[in-house]
Structure 1
Amino acid sequence: MSDKLTTEISQTTETEIRWRGQDLMTDILGKRDFAETMYLLMTGRFPEPWERQIFDACLITLMEHGLTPHAIVSRLVADSNPDQLQIAMASGLTCVGDVFAGTMEGCGRLLQEGLAADDKAQWCHDTATAYRQERRPLPGFGHPQHKPDDPRTPRLFQVAREAGATGHAIGLLEEFGTAVDTVYGRHLTINATGAIGALLLEVGIQPEIMRAIAVTSRAAGLTAHIAEEQKTRSGRRIWTLVENEFAYTGP
């Protein structure tokens, strides 16, 4: 075994740039789109047409969702560092996590476990019961705004099935959702990140890298918020509004 550091992702010479063995100029530029090329860099191959369609839908879905913490943080930092927009972008992206936009990773792991179970119905019941009894947040379920259901979820499932996904992960998530409602005694929506966790499994993306898809997606939306911030200068007004809303209660 060689001690030499290696990479399979890219190679650059005086006359060539190759990504995963593909020539950037002749094989990619003008021939492949962003989703296909990102998938190539991640997996080592171009996606099949049905995989590309599903992967692209996942990238689009989490791109923008209004004045979320990601957008607010980016606007505030852009106001503080108007000439360093990369700092504003990076600051907003740190909000992608276990609460906002990043729970497809946890849902993907759950579904992987369920797909390996012999008795999937029993797995659904037991897993929902365990989360309920332990009062743990259920990744991929619930939404503070979209009630009773997240409108993005059924559309994502429809896109994936029409594109040609096997539907194994999607079907399990739907079955799990039914078990969750039964165990919890109320309806919990499957949110967009839960749906994306299932879709990414359908196209061969492992849970360990799923959150990076959300980061890539949300970066595009934050670009729009920073561009608008440059015109409206809302960050200073947000700061003033928050400051005025707080009342001092100390000694």
Structure 2
Amino acid sequence: MSGERNDVSDWWTTSIIDMAPGQIRFRGNPIEDLIGTVSFPQMIWLMTRGDLPTPAQAKLLECALVAAVDHGPQAPSIAAARMAVTCGLSLNGAMASAVNMLDDVHGGAGEQAVELYHWIAASVREGTALEEASATMVDKWQAERTKFVPGFGHRFHKPEDPRAPRLLALVDEAAAQGTVGGEFAQIGRALQKLLNERKGKPVPMNIDGATAVIYAELGFAGPLARGLFCLSRSVGVIAHAWEQMNQGERNKGPTPPSYRWTYSGPNPIDPES
């Protein structure tokens, strides 16, 4: 009987939580000791990394989380949440619909940017100059992955995404205080300079690129950068879903009813008829 019980209890193995009647411990810390003493960013760090960050590390993490909460109803994730509510979904359904939109193109570029930054950092540590390493690794990325350089370019914010300079300035402050090394902020700026020169016009660092600098500086793995973006954007998602729920529209599609799509098949209907 004991052997069977061990088979069941060992089916899932975790170092995250230990729970028994009357007792809950996260990473060895009693929940009652955490409540009221750690912030939500500190708790995120504890759960994903296994230890508690310093207050300065938690503050920088919080800055990245705050910066990415929302980008308006034209953002696919927010639009999906609002449309989901008009179709009758609850808040949790709307949030699930929105988070499922956060993939490689929308919301997932932070993970890719962390990876690219690490490519460049590894090359620099091997003795390559930063400018040369940036150019070589961008070429490698575009040859092996996609022509789009993750974390750069924005269809609305030109010549500058207002979030990026603020976040980089906060990284500079943290580096001056010894909280982070500043290596990835330098890489981000080198990429910005390179892309501007190659394009002949500003290619703004976007929210994915800026938060990726912070996540890389703090030592978060690339996939966690995407997960953290999902956590952050969920704040905007729930706000928009709740607002839409209270506005009360039903089955509200992506465009007003008077606007039709472009039909490219045979025998189109005359739009004037």
Task: Return the TM-score normalized by structure 1.
Answer: 0.91
Q: Residues 141 and 14 of structure 1: is their aligned pair in 2 closer, same or farther, counting only changes over 3 Å?
A: same
Q: CA RMSD in A?
A: 2.1
Partner of 2:167: 156
* 1:145 matched residue in structure 2: 156
Find the counterpart in structure 1 of residue 245 from structure 2: 230
Q: Indicate the residue corresponding to 2:253 in structure 1.
A: 239
Decide which of 95, 116, 137 is 1:127's aligned counterpart: 137
CA distance change for structure 1 residues 234 and 146 in 2, over 3 Å: closer, same or farther?
farther
1:99 partnered with 2:114: no
Which ranges of structure 1 fall in alignment gaps of 5 or more residues?
none
Q: 1:244–1:16: structure 2 CA closer, same or farther, 3 Å change rule?
A: same
- 1:81 partner SS: coil
Q: Secondary structure at the match of 1:95?
A: coil
Could you tell me which residue of structure 2 aligns to residue 116 of structure 1? Answer: 122
Aligned length: 247
Residue in 2 that maps onto 1:186: 201
Q: Which sits farther off after the overlay, 153-162 or 28-37?
A: 153-162
For 1:8, which of 6, 12, 15 is the aligned residue?
15
- With 69-78 and 183-192 compared, the bigger mean Cα shift is at 183-192
- Summarize the Cα distance change of 1:45–1:181 in structure 2 as closer, same or farther, 3 Å threshold: same
Task: State the identity as a percent.
Answer: 25
1:72 lines up with 2:83 in the alignment: no
Q: Which residue does 2:57 correspond to in 1?
A: 51
Provide the secondary structure at the position in 2 that maps to 1:116.
helix
Rounded Cα–Cα distance in structure 2 between residues aligned with 1:207 and 1:89:
23
Partner of 1:245: helix, strand, or coil? coil
2:72 maps to 1:61: no
Corresponding residue SS for 2:253? helix
Pick the aligned partner of 2:232 from 217, 227, 238.
217
Per the alignment, residue 218 of structure 2 pairs with 203
CA distance 1:174–1:21, change in 2 (3 Å): same
When the two structures are superposed, what TM-score results if normalisation uses the length of structure 2?
Answer: 0.84
Cα pair distance change 1:128/1:187, threshold 3 Å: farther
Query: 1 CA distance for matches of 2:233 and 2:227?
Result: 10
Specify the code of the residue in structure 1 equivalent to 2:93: I
56-65 or 96-105: bigger deviation = 96-105
Structure-1 separation of matches of 2:207 and 2:114: 12
SS at match of 1:18: strand
CA contact (8 A) 1:51 1:203 kept: yes
Report whether the alignment pairs 1:33 with 2:44: no
The structure-2 alpha-carbon separation of the partners of 1:132 and 1:20, relative to structure 1 and needing over 3 Å to count, comes to closer
| Structure 1 residue 110: Cα displacement | 0.5
The one-letter code sitting in structure 2 at the alignment partner of 1:162 is: E
